[in-house]
Amino acid sequence: MSAIKETTPVPIQDTKNDIKESKLDDSKKPAKKEKVVNPDDLIDMITFDQLLDMDDEDDHEFSYSIVLNYFEQAEGTFKDMDHALEKKDLPELSRLGHFLKGSSAAIGLKKVKATCEKIQNIGNRQDETGTSELTESEALDKISPLLPQVKEEYAEAEDYLKNFYDVQDSK
Amino acid sequence: MDYTNANGDVVADTGQAAPRNRNEGVVPDFIQKLFNMLEGTDENSCYHWGRQGTTFVIEDPSEFAKAVLPRRFKHSNFSSFVRQLNKYDFHKIRFNELNRKSPTNNNTQIPSHQVWEFQHPLFKRDHKHLLCQIHRKTNKSYQASQKKHVNSVTAVAAGTGGLSLPNVKSEPDSSFGNYQEMQQQIIDLQSAHHRMEASVAQLLERDRYFLDQLTELKHQVDEKNRLIHSLMEHKLPPQKRRHPSSSKPLDELSGSPIPSPQSPSLKLYPWLQQTSMPTAAPIVPSVTSGHGASLPSLQSSVNGVPTLPSLPTTSTSHPLPPLIASNMPPLHAAPMPPVTSDVSTPSSSPSSVASGPTVPSTMIDPMTAAAAAVVSSTPSTTSATASASLILPPPTSLHDSHTNCMTWRRRPKVLVVEDNETYRRISTRCLERLGAEYDMACDGLEAVNYMKATKYDLILMDISIPKLDGIEATRKLRQYDQTTPVVSMTSSYTDTDIDKYIGSGMSDLLPKPFDQSKLYEILKQHCTHLI
């Protein structure tokens, strides 16, 4: 019980301290502290905490498995997205975006979720705000850069989570 | 020579035999005296035999009383003489306007009421042997004769017809007897009445006593329950503490007690947004001023207290008490820990060094303290309570939403329809922890198949699922099933969406990403019959 108590507050404190630094550097600093330096805008701690809540007391097996599962899912989705973009299949892209958006939100990965939402909307030929219509070419144009972006953001989140669990395991 | 015998009567010494007759028995002195007197007189005196010696007559009672009575008896009271005659069962014979010649006043007509004639069946001139059979009457008959005598005297004095003798004799008997009987009955009834009054008072006393005892016991039991719950909370795993720790930023939480503030389900519970913690200073005092008379309501108010007393200083908020529905306890039990840490931090300073584990203890201390205060004060008050405190319904025994497993009478069957594996796993994990059984469907068609095959207690339906979307699947279900609650899990909940959901027959909304407490609430709400 005490172990968990110590671990959960720590990331928050660390990240808060490091927000200032990371905003300047815009990079991770894994060596500085025990935890990965990641600002709050990468991951929503409230949601992530709830996921951790579902774990048994000292054991993060469940949430870790969820996270691992998510990694698999995401990587598969990215591949599918690439294929869909090649085929210029906007509806498929939209569906995939929606799909991954859900899982990302469940874990609390804010950036990934936001980008997925954009992909979903544009795939539906709506612009990012979801209001006006887009032509197919417009949509495809808008979507293309989003894919690498989401992958990048995903990589960020992946690192963070891996570190989180690595640290957890070591403790 | 007259001499006084043992009775004190003057007995004339007539030389005749002593008052012993030839036959057995003793002739009473009075009778003997009377007989001798009559034997020794003639027609000229004021008294003599009458009717051939079967009666004796007193012509002039006044003369008789003045002259004869003092000589023969001790007194000169004619009434006493008559009374004595009655004692020996002599009967006065009435004259009916019969005038008789008075020997003392020659040829003077004397009013008949002045003439007394007495008769006794055994007192006859020529039947001296019968005299010994004359005896004094017993009390009862004597009283009867007294009455008769009184009646006869009054009748004679009035000089009118009046009652005839036999009637006079019988009526006093019966009426007196009746009177006595009734008297006795009245007395009996009165005493019975008194006894009943006493016993009723006793019963009332005992009843009051029992009621007080029962109330007292109830308080104690409730208090014990609360302590047990507090202890259970204290021992709960970290997830409880995470909420206080994650809610450290106090400002955030003051407005949104539910962790997902944009949750549209708040539309269903708008009053939660109004106040952070719907506890009431009025509720707590009104509970303390409550009267133990109505036990169920008291129990509910006392049970409601554990969720309230940790915030004794919050301002009153009246929307809460009337709006308490069955889903209220879990709902505000969920936001309670964050807000509790919120308020308890300033209020209880030493223990508010808010590292996680102390927060539950601060909750417990005010709880038990307030509970003890409530329990001790409630029995002592007698005034009727404000209705506000009585509106609180009895919450379920586990008011803590962070308990991992509900105690179900029967495990609820839940169908989870979700294509995203992550969500599926999360939902099922939550359901596991809440003690529910579940089936999983990955798309709409599968869902419909499951629903046809089994009756579920709750269906968690994702909207964006392949093959058949959630709305369609729900419509299909509603064609033949109106009762199973279908909760839509979705990340899109605009107003139009909500209308669509409701239109298809959905019962509730669970926004994604969801948290365990929200799922718990929904489960509890729709499966209250299984608790």
What ipTM was predicted for this assembly? Answer: 0.72
Query: What does the pLDDT look like over B322-331, one tens digit per residue?
Result: 443 444 444 4
**What is the band of B185 on the pLDDT scale with cuts at 50, 70, 90?**
very high
Examine residue A124 and state whether it is found in any structural domain, yes or no. Answer: yes
Q: Which residue has the higher pLDDT, B244 or B410?
A: B410
At residue B220, the pLDDT reads 95
Least confident of A153-157, B83-87, B460-464, B526-530: B526-530
What distance in Å separates residue A26's CA from the closest CA in chain B? 25
CB B212 within 8 A of CB B379: yes
Examine residue A125 and state whether it is found in any structural domain, yes or no. Answer: yes
Q: Which residue has the higher pLDDT, B493 or B355?
A: B493
Residues of B in contact with A5 (CB under 8 A): 238, 241, 245, 355-357
Query: What does the pLDDT look like over A4-20, one tens digit per residue?
Result: 444 444 444 444 444 44
Examine residue A83 and state whether it is found in any structural domain, yes or no. Answer: yes
CB contact under 8 A, B422 and A69: yes
CB contact under 8 A, B425 and A66: yes
Chain A window 87-106: which residues touch B at a Cβ cutoff of 8 Å?
A: 95, 98-99, 101-103, 105-106
As separate numbers, helices (DSSP H) first and strands (DSSP E) second, chain A gives 7, 0
- Is the pLDDT assigned to residue B290 strictly greater than 60? no
What distance in Å separates residue A7's CA from the closest CA in chain B? 11
Chain A window 38-57: which residues touch B at a Cβ cutoff of 8 Å?
A: 45-47, 49-54, 56-57
Nearest CB partner across the interface for B464, out of A9, A98, A105: A98
Examine residue A15 and state whether it is found in any structural domain, yes or no. Answer: no
Examine residue A22 and state whether it is found in any structural domain, yes or no. Answer: no
CB contact under 8 A, B513 and A106: yes
Query: What does the pLDDT look like over B497-525, one tens digit per residue?
Result: 888 888 888 888 888 777 778 888 888 88
3 state SS for B405-430:
CCCCCCCCEEEEECCCHHHHHHHHHH
| Interatomic CA distance for residues A168 and A160, integer angstroms | 12
CB contact under 8 A, A9 and B245: yes
- Is the pLDDT assigned to residue B87 strictly greater than 60? yes
Q: What mean pLDDT is predicted for residues B149-165?
A: 55
CB B108 within 8 A of CB B102: yes
Rounded to the nearest angstrom, the gap between the alpha carbon of residue B430 and the centroid of all alpha carbons in its chain is 52
CB contact under 8 A, A51 and B426: yes
Rounded to the nearest angstrom, the gap between the alpha carbon of residue B13 and the centroid of all alpha carbons in its chain is 84
- Is the pLDDT assigned to residue B285 strictly greater than 60? no
Examine residue A5 and state whether it is found in any structural domain, yes or no. Answer: no
Chain B touched by A10 (CB under 8 Å) = no
Question: Which of A62-66, A131-135, B60-64: highest mean pLDDT?
Answer: A62-66
Q: CB neighbours (10 Å) of residue B230?
A: 20
Nearest CB partner across the interface for B426, out of A8, A66, A99: A66
As separate numbers, helices (DSSP H) first and strands (DSSP E) second, chain B gives 21, 13
Measured in Å, how far apart are chain A's first and last C-alpha atoms?
A: 13
- The tally of CA atoms less than 13 A away on the side-chain side of residue A79 is 5
| Interatomic CA distance for residues A106 and A53, integer angstroms | 13
CB contact under 8 A, A102 and B422: yes
Nearest CB partner across the interface for A102, out of B356, B420, B433: B420
| Interatomic CA distance for residues A104 and A118, integer angstroms | 13
> Per the structure, how many domains does chain A have?
1
At residue A46, the pLDDT reads 86
Residue A8: closest CA among chain B residues belongs to which residue? B242
**What is the band of B80 on the pLDDT scale with cuts at 50, 70, 90?**
confident
Question: Which of A40-49, A52-61, B403-412, B448-457: highest mean pLDDT?
Answer: B448-457
CB contact under 8 A, B513 and A57: no
CB contact under 8 A, A54 and B420: no
Best residue in B234, B247, B262, B420 for a mutation probing chain A (most A CBs within 10 Å): B420
- Is the pLDDT assigned to residue B446 strictly greater than 80? yes
Taking one residue from A and the other from B, the number of pairs with CB-CB distance under 8 angstroms is 80
What distance in Å separates residue B515's CA from the closest CA in chain A? 6
| Interatomic CA distance for residues B324 and B344, integer angstroms | 24
Least confident of A79-83, B87-91, B266-270, B484-488: B266-270
CB B265 within 8 A of CB B488: no
Tokens (6 digits) for B30: 């009075």
Strands B458-462 and B437-441: unpaired
Tokens (6 digits) for B427: 């939902």
At residue B259, the pLDDT reads 42
Best residue in A44, A46, A75 for a mutation probing chain B (most B CBs within 10 Å): A46
Query: What does the pLDDT look like over B295-313, one tens digit per residue?
Result: 444 444 444 444 444 444 4
Chain A touched by B492 (CB under 8 Å) = no
**What is the band of B63 on the pLDDT scale with cuts at 50, 70, 90?**
confident
**What is the band of B141 on the pLDDT scale with cuts at 50, 70, 90?**
low
Q: What mean pLDDT is predicted for residues A39-68?
A: 83
Determine the 3-state secondary structure of B48 from DSSP: strand
At residue B207, the pLDDT reads 96
What are residue B482's phi and psi, to 5 degrees?
-105, -10
Residue with tokens 């990955």: B442
Examine residue A86 and state whether it is found in any structural domain, yes or no. Answer: yes
CB contact under 8 A, B246 and A107: no
Cis peptide leading into residue B366 (ω within 30°): no
Beta carbons within 8 Å of B189's beta carbon, 6+ residues apart: none
At residue B338, the pLDDT reads 43
Least confident of B66-70, B159-163, B277-281, B458-462: B277-281
Q: What mean pLDDT is predicted for residues B8-33?
A: 61
Beta carbons within 8 Å of B200's beta carbon, 6+ residues apart: none
Average per-residue pLDDT for chain B? 67
Domains of chain B with CATH codes: 29-96+112-142 (1.10.10.10), 413-530 (3.40.50.2300)
Chain B window 509-528: which residues touch A at a Cβ cutoff of 8 Å?
A: 512-513, 515-516
- Is the pLDDT assigned to residue B248 strictly greater than 60? no
At residue B364, the pLDDT reads 45
Chain B window 249-308: which residues touch A at a Cβ cutoff of 8 Å?
A: 259
Distances (CA, A) of B25 to B84, B87, B127, B139, B169: 20, 18, 15, 21, 29
Nearest CB partner across the interface for B429, out of A4, A54, A105: A54
Q: CB neighbours (10 Å) of residue A155?
A: 12
| Interatomic CA distance for residues B457 and B413, integer angstroms | 5
At residue B501, the pLDDT reads 85
Give the CATH number for residue A92: 1.20.120.160
CB contact under 8 A, A105 and B491: yes
Domain range for A163 is: 40-53+60-169
Distances (CA, A) of B272 to A160, B170, B279, B319, B409: 36, 94, 11, 9, 30
At residue B521, the pLDDT reads 85
Examine residue A8 and state whether it is found in any structural domain, yes or no. Answer: no
Chain B touched by A169 (CB under 8 Å) = no
Rounded to the nearest angstrom, the gap between the alpha carbon of residue B502 and the centroid of all alpha carbons in its chain is 52
Best residue in B422, B428, B467, B516 for a mutation probing chain A (most A CBs within 10 Å): B422
Query: What does the pLDDT look like over B340-370, one tens digit per residue?
Result: 444 444 444 444 444 444 444 444 444 444 4
CB B91 within 8 A of CB B120: yes
What distance in Å separates residue A2's CA from the closest CA in chain B? 9
CB contact under 8 A, A8 and B426: no
Nearest CB partner across the interface for A4, out of B238, B429, B464: B238
